[in-house]
Structure 1
Amino acid sequence: MATFSLDDVRRVCKGRDAWWTVLLVDPIAIRLTLVVANRTSITPNQLTAVAFALGMGAAGCFALGSPGWLVIGALLYHVGFVVDCMDGKIARLKRTGTLFGGWLDFMLDRVRDSVCALALMAGQYVRTGHSAYLYAGMAVLALDMFRYVNGPQIVKVRRSMRSAVNAARRRMAEPEEETRDDETEPDGDAETALEPAPNTDLHRQFDSQFPWYRRIRRSLLRRRVRTHLVSGIEFQMAVFIIGPVTGAIIPATAVAGTLLALFELVIIYKFWLSTRTHTRVMAALGEAAAPTPATPADAPLPSPDLTPATADQD
């Protein structure tokens, strides 16, 4: 059995992640991953199943509704999340990841979060009779569904835009656009030095409007923290851990949901600006690649008149 070091595990961690994961989960998950990798033959899919089982245990505790069970449910949820963060590390460390494993992890996470949301809010409604918990449950499910639909779709369109720009530049025999990794989207850090080709940094307009953004982004990335500070992970932790432990389920859900929606709107706004820039860049690349009409100096000389001469020309 291969022996891995702590540095080996750190190297397979994501280059950027949610601050909750980086600060509160990875310090534990990295060390547990080292133990599991070196001393057991547990597979990533088995860890995914364990994480799902712990999530279902948390949902059962949430459904009971009393303060003590809520705290136990929050603890189970967090332990399950730690285990869930280990399966990817094991897969990358041992190179045993599969396409099915990625799908299984994604689907079970969605089922776990939906069941926990329903159990938590329904349990509180049964216990208190307050319909606000039902509305909160619907809001949690709606926000969770929106972010999982919105994120992949934005990534898909961004990739198509980048591919279109790179294809146009290849036709002009110029270097491809350099990209940077930011939230869930590619950005352009490097500017092309070739003229008259237009700048292909699709996020130039956003960066010019918010010049402080890149400084904050670079500072966070040095700590592996992504700029999307309230993402799905922070939202889940607020709803399923902070709320149950403090007893302030509705306030925690409302604050975290509002912040999640604001950060999603920022991503959408940035994406909208990049689509406008993409349109301008493609138009400029098309003009640069178009053949230049012949000037009068370049025009061919007229052909000699080869028609038969008339009688009066004799």
Structure 2
Amino acid sequence: MTSFTLADVRERTYKKRDAWWTVFLVDPLAARLVVWTANRTTITPNQLTFSAGVLGLGAAGCFALATWPWLMAGALLFHLSFVLDCMDGKIARLKGNGSVFGAWVDFVFDRIRFFGCMLALLIGQWAATGNVLYLILAPVVTFLDLFRYLNGSQVAKTRRSMRRQLRVAARGSNGSPTVSPSETADTEATDPDGADPERPAEADPAPVVFIEEALRDNPDLDAETLRNDAHESGARVIDVHRGFTDRFRWYTSVRNALLRGRVRPHLFSGIEFEMFICILAPLTTLIVPVTLLACVGLLVFEVVIIYKLWLATRDFTAEMAKLQRG
């Protein structure tokens, strides 16, 4: 019987980049529970997903009761539900027993858990206090959560499209370009229709290096060294984020410092948004201020992503013109 260790879990199941909430407040517990679960039980990822859903329903029920002891219980159940939700993916990667249907179930249960708990929390507070502001916040939170999913998907799709066009132009070929694994992990959202099948390395006659993606995969590198190494190897170096990094020169050093700790630079993503509303807000009973803070934090980071994409499209146009001129 295979005996998995904590080192196995960290090496084989940890994401290279993750939300800071997950890195600091979830993974330390989830990893240890995964070791015990994988070695001592036959629990499957789908069973963990359904268990997380049950705890999520329990959290929603607690939130609906509206008083502080129940709000605290709901926050605890929501956190434990998220821990189990992280464990299902880790078990699947560790044992290789995940499934396509399981990934769909995991996604759907995530959304049901958050919307159910958020609505139970806000409507429960409205029923208890009569403050209509809780009812106003519900559609605002719903809109922002849907917006971040749509925005993430479209930003990722646009970035992949730019890379494909630049890769083809750099090679002077009409063929389909290779898409590296890093090109499919720009945001939380993924778009299966936006990625091309990966070709063998020997079929790539003209390697193309995208600066930001290479630095994100190895934050210990610096851009100048990477450019020199790429030129020496005959690769074409392309940087469609120079417009952003030139304007915010501190960004690269901050990003690299975060990435060395597995923390992605998108510091207020959907995970933090959910945890602030469904854990921090009920624990502090400052439900309106904390929810508003979460909404502002999410919106600010989404605007930054859009701004960075806009600058990248300008760099993309300039790079395409340069490549077309030869």
Aligned to 1:155: 156
Unmatched 5+ residue regions in structure 1?
A: 289-314
Match of 2:325 in 1: 287
Counterparts of 1:60-139 in structure 2 under 5 Å? Answer: 60-139=61-140
User: Which residue in 2 is equivalent to 1:5?
Assistant: 5
Alignment counterpart, residue 206 of structure 2, candidates 157, 164, 174: 174
3-state SS of the aligned residue for 1:177? strand
Q: How does 1:50-61 map to 2 (within 5 A)?
A: 50-61=51-62
Q: What do the CA deviations read for 1:94-121 (whole angstroms, capped 9, x no partner)?
A: 1112222112111110111111111111
Query: Which residue of 2 is the match for residue 207 of structure 1?
Result: 245
Taking structure 2 as the reference length, the TM-score comes to 0.82
Q: Is the 8 A contact 1:166 1:177 kept in 2?
A: no
Give aligned-pair identity as a percent: 52
- Describe the superposition over 1:228-274 as per-residue Cα deviations: whole angstroms up to 9, x where unpaired: 11111111111111111111000000112111111111111111111
Bigger Cα Rg: 1
For residue 275 of structure 2, the aligned residue among 227, 237, 240 is 237
How many positions carry a matched residue from both structures?
283
The superposition leaves residues 107-140 of structure 1 with CA deviations (integer Å, 9 ceiling, x where unpaired) of: 1101111111111111111111101001111111
Q: How far apart, in 2, do the equivalents of 1:79 and 1:29 lie? A: 9
| Matched-pair contact (CA < 8 Å) for 1:198–1:281 | no
Q: Which runs of 5+ in 2 are unaligned?
A: 174-204
Distance (whole Å) between structure 1 residues aligned to residue 14 and residue 141 of structure 2:
28
Following the alignment from structure 2 to structure 1, what is the Cα–Cα distance between the partners of residues 209 and 262?
24
Cα contact 1:74–1:245 (8 A) shared by 2:
yes
Q: How does 1:35-46 map to 2 (within 5 A)?
A: 35-46=36-47
**SS class of match (1:61):** helix
**Matched residues in 2 for 1:91 and 1:78: separation?**
20
Task: Give SS of 1:180's match.
Answer: helix
Give the distance between the partners of 2:237 and 2:288, measured in 1 at CA.
47
1:15-61 per-position Cα deviation (integer Å, ceiling 9, x unaligned): 11111111111110000001111111111111111111111111111
Give the root-mean-square deviation of aligned CA atoms: 2.0
TM-score (norm 1): 0.85
The whole-number CA distance in structure 1 between the counterparts of 2:115 and 2:314 is 36
1:274 paired with 2:312, answer yes
